[in-house]
């Protein structure tokens, strides 16, 4: 089945207001920038987004955040995005902070049909006991906080129950993909991308290089096409437009 669509705009055209999205990438590595820009241009709002972080102030998910298109984030890191932190602390954005490994496993579980799982991470903290601020009001008071989670003992150790994540749509970026949706991710871009595609009921992949079915060795496939419903082929210019979250350099030493 050929899953290639004509453009990013066509690929995201049916994403409605208030939809939930699982968005791949880590920092600015492997984020689906073209699909995000198409969402921005389409005017969709009220989004409930699950992603490791929220880009930076002027790139990635930060573009949607700046225009007040995101109502809620589930993330493990606020990081370099000052507007992300400002909106959260000002009561303009709901944020469910989740330990990074737990977030990854919640996405993987959702894509695997597993409704919940137990983990040691968070036992004895507010992650399990509840009370982590999810939303403030404009006076700095906590108006929504995380709930108490079930804790159960296995073999003498306590574990906290975490629910899986399933979203309406998954947005990811791949280095290479074929028309059937089989994807290959380059190096560290193979981070949250496969998991976010798995967790989306409808998943859309922008690919830097589109190839024909059979051109990817089955042993090289990182995510099978069963998890992908739409493929967008990027232009060479779009594929090359990648940014560094924080560039650190030092003076060149003399020989």
Residues 195 and 227 in one domain: yes
* pLDDT value of position 252: 84
* pLDDT value of position 245: 81
* Residue pair 67/184 in contact by the 8 Å Cβ criterion: no
Is residue 89 in a domain? no
User: Distance between alpha carbon 90 and the CA centroid of its chain, in Å?
Assistant: 23
| Sequential DSSP letters for 142-182 | EEEEPPP--EEEETTEEEEEEE---EEEEEEEEEEEETT--
Residues 169 and 194 in one domain: yes
Residues 105 and 227 in one domain: yes
Residues 172 and 223 in one domain: yes
Is residue 255 pLDDT above 80, yes or no? no
SS3 185: coil
CATH number at residue 184: 3.40.1080.10
Number of domains the chain is built from: 2
Residues 121 and 32 in one domain: no
Residues 169 and 212 in one domain: yes
Reported confidence tier of residue 248, pLDDT bands at 50, 70, 90: confident
Domain region containing 227: 8-46+100-111+164-240
Q: What is the pLDDT of residues 181-215, one digit of tens each?
A: 999 999 999 999 999 999 999 999 999 999 999 99
Reported confidence tier of residue 246, pLDDT bands at 50, 70, 90: confident
Is residue 51 pLDDT above 90, yes or no? yes
Residue with tokens 């970026």: 173
- Model's pTM, two decimal places? 0.94
Is residue 83 in a domain? no
Residues 168 and 138 in one domain: no
Residues 142 and 169 in one domain: no
Is residue 168 in a domain? yes
Q: Where are the alpha helices (DSSP H) in 8-115?
A: 8-11, 33-42, 61-66, 82-89, 100-112
Cβ count within 10 A of residue 116: 13
Is residue 31 in a domain? yes
**What is the overall mean pLDDT for the chain?**
96
Residues 222 and 135 in one domain: no
Residues 106 and 149 in one domain: no
Q: What is the pLDDT of residues 70-109, one digit of tens each?
A: 999 999 998 778 999 999 999 999 999 999 999 999 999 9
Cβ count within 10 A of residue 184: 21
Q: What is the pLDDT of residues 115-172, one digit of tens each?
A: 999 999 999 999 999 999 999 999 999 999 999 999 999 999 999 999 999 999 999 9
* Residue pair 174/205 in contact by the 8 Å Cβ criterion: yes
Residues 150 and 225 in one domain: no
* pLDDT value of position 49: 98
For residues 210-225, give the mean pLDDT.
98
Residues 107 and 14 in one domain: yes
Is residue 226 in a domain? yes
For residues 62-70, give the mean pLDDT.
97
């Amino acid at each position: 089945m050929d899953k290639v669509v004509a453009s990013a705009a066509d690929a995201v055209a049916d994403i409605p207001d208030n939809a939930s999205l699982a968005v791949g990438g880590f920092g600015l590595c492997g984020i689906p920038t073209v699909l995000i820009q198409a969402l921005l241009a389409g005017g969709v709002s009220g989004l409930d987004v699950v992603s490791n972080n929220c880009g930076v102030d002027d790139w990635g998910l930060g573009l949607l955040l700046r225009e007040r298109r995101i109502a809620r984030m589930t993330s493990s890191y606020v990081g370099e995005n000052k507007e992300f932190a400002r909106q959260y602390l000002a009561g303009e954005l709901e944020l469910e902070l989740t330990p990074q490994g737990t977030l990854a496993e919640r996405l993987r579980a959702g894509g695997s049909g597993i409704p919940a799982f137990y983990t040691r991470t968070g036992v004895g903290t507010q992650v399990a006991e509840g009370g982590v601020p999810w939303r403030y009001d404009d006076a700095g008071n906590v108006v929504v906080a995380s709930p108490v989670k079930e804790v159960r003992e296995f073999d003498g150790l306590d574990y906290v129950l975490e629910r899986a994540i399933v979203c309406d749509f998954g947005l990811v970026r791949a280095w290479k993909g074929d028309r059937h949706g089989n994807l290959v991710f380059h190096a560290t871009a193979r981070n949250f991308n496969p998991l976010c595609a798995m967790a989306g009921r409808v998943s859309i992949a922008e690919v830097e290089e589109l190839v024909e079915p059979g051109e990817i060795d089955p042993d090289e496939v990182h995510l099978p096409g069963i998890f992908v419903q739409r493929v967008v082929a990027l232009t060479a210019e779009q594929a090359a437009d990648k940014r560094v979250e924080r560039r650190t350099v030092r003076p060149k030493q003399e020989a």
